[in-house]
């Protein structure tokens, strides 16, 4: 079973500013109510620690392409049960604005069981974080 959610928002700030905020993990508690913390060395191949709304997991960083994309893969307990590949993607709109996309591909035998929660709570968390990132970047 697989499922994907994708959200996006246009931010009235340049891509450098948005990337700087997105990768300044120490300051997440100041503006990000969805992802409470990110710790560890966020480099490709490294395992990091992420706290999201009462849940802590340790995904592996798959992509860190400066000012373009950050992606990680996490598992609930063990691979194949409930896996999530989370990505942040930034695109320069060429007019001083940035398109910010947040998506997650879920797969595993428990995806169907969590489908409603993914469609409602997880998607709402993504949209809230997108709006908070936009607000923070536009008010610097």
Give pLDDT tens digits for 86-103: 999 999 999 999 999 999
Is the distance from CB of 119 to CB of 5 less than 8 angstroms?
yes
Is the distance from CB of 83 to CB of 71 less than 8 angstroms?
no
> What is residue 76's predicted lDDT score, i.e. its pLDDT?
86
pTM summary value: 0.94
> What is residue 53's predicted lDDT score, i.e. its pLDDT?
78
* Least confident residue range of 20-29, 75-84, 94-103: 75-84
> What is residue 114's predicted lDDT score, i.e. its pLDDT?
87
Q: At which residue do the structure tokens 């035998």 appear? A: 109
Write the DSSP assignment of 103-131 as a string of letters.
Answer: EEEEESTTTTTTHHHIIIIIHHHHHHHHH
Q: What is the mean pLDDT of residues 21-33?
A: 97
Distance of alpha carbon 6 from alpha carbon 86, whole angstroms: 10
Is the distance from CB of 7 to CB of 134 less than 8 angstroms?
no
């Amino acid at each position: 079973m697989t499922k994907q959610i994708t959200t996006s928002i246009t931010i009235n700030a340049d891509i450098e500013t948005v990337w700087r905020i997105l990768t300044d993990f120490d300051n997440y508690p100041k503006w990000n109510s969805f992802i409470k913390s990110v710790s560890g060395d966020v480099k490709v191949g490294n395992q990091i620690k992420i706290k999201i709304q009462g849940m802590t997991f340790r995904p592996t960083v798959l992509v860190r392409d400066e000012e373009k994309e950050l992606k990680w893969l996490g598992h609930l307990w063990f691979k194949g049960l409930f896996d999530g590949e989370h990505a942040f993607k930034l695109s320069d709109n060429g007019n001083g604005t940035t398109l910010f996309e947040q998506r997650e591909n879920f797969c595993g035998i428990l995806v169907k069981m969590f489908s409603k929660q993914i469609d409602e709570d997880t998607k709402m968390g993504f949209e809230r974080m997108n709006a908070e990132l936009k607000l923070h970047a536009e008010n610097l």
